């Protein structure tokens, strides 16, 4: 399979205009209050007319906003007004336009999941963090794992499996003891969830242009669901995961605490 073209680096971007800002917020009182205060101070244009979209909430809102504006080229800058904020910058209401002008810009490319159900109908969804497969009942899932058309695990008995991007490697993947990936790494993490057989298998690192096919064995007796971020498909029989080549999102981080620094901090957390 051909290697995906490299994503643009922060050096490839022209300075971001900060004249027109659009503010989006989660439903919490804290986030809504921040949206009103910032809108009054900096103005708030419709998202389609904005130079930068400022997301106020937690990581869940950030993922929703990235999905919503995927492929638009509009950079998303998050400020934490939620419970989880790995994708978010520190909330401050002063000097916002100066922070945006100095911010690092990172492009991320999502995964494309194609999940086939029992009726043979395929469903497609994008995932910025990860594609995860999970058993639906008390019985463990039985999965056959292939990479680029070659079977690598004839049978994996487990609670599930995760295919994570660098952006998502510190989320569910990390909770399942998967590796943390630098944001610029051209890699995907393939991480089992509570593997029973082979018991010692801890997963794999794959090039980001690899295609992963997961066949659900004994799907009627041992049903499995597949999720691409917030999109869940129940009772799947086969799932294909690969990096999307025609979709990308743009995210901004404060220059003094960019993504690389966040990743390194997480790697040395104990």
Residues annotated within a binding site: 59-60, 129-130, 159, 167, 170-175
Q: Where are the beta strands (DSSP E) in 166-233?
A: 187-193, 204-207, 212-217, 224-228, 231-233
Do the Cβ atoms of 248 and 261 come closer than 8 Å?
A: no
- Give the separation between CA 249 and CA 270, rounded to whole angstroms: 31
What b/e sequence results for 106-135 when a residue is b if at least 16 CB atoms lie within 10 Å of its CB, and e otherwise?
Answer: bbbbbbbbbbbbeeeeebebbbbbbbbbbb
Q: Which residues are catalytic?
A: 59
Phi, psi of 193 (to 5 degrees): -110, 110
| Binding residue ranges for NAD(+) | 59-60, 129-130, 159, 167, 170-175
Contacting residues for 230 by C-beta, under 8 A, at least 6 apart: 63, 64, 67
Distance CA 201, CA 178 (A): 12
State the Cα–Cα distance between residues 179 and 101, nearest whole angstrom: 32
| Pairing mode of beta strands 104-108, 249-253 | antiparallel
């Amino acid at each position: 399979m051909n290697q995906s073209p490299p994503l643009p680096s922060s050096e490839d971007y022209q300075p971001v205009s900060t004249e027109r800002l659009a503010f989006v917020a989660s439903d919490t009182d804290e986030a809504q209050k921040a949206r009103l205060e910032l809108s009054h101070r900096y103005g708030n244009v419709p998202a389609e007319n904005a130079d930068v979209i400022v997301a106020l909430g937690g990581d869940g809102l950030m993922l929703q906003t990235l999905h919503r504006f995927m492929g638009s080229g509009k950079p998303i800058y998050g400020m934490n007004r939620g419970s989880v904020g790995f994708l978010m910058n520190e909330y401050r209401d002063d000097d916002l336009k100066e922070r945006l002008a100095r911010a690092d810009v990172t492009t991320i490319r999502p995964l494309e999941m194609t999940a086939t159900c029992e009726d043979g109908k395929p469903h497609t969804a994008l995932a910025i963090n990860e594609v995860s497969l999970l058993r639906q009942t008390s019985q463990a899932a039985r999965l056959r794992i292939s990479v680029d058309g070659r079977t690598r695990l004839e049978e994996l008995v487990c609670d599930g499996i995760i295919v994570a991007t660098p952006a998502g490697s510190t989320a569910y993947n990390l909770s399942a003891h998967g590796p943390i990936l630098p944001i610029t790494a051209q890699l995907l993490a393939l991480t089992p969830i509570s593997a029973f057989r082979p018991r010692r298998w801890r997963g794999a690192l794959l090039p980001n242009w690899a295609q992963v096919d997961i066949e659900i064995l004994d799907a009627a007796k041992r049903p499995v669901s597949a999720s691409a971020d917030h999109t869940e498909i129940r009772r799947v029989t086969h799932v294909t995961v690969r990096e999307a080549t025609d979709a990308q999102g743009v995210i901004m981080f404060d220059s003094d605490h960019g993504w690389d620094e966040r990743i390194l901090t997480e790697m040395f957390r104990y």
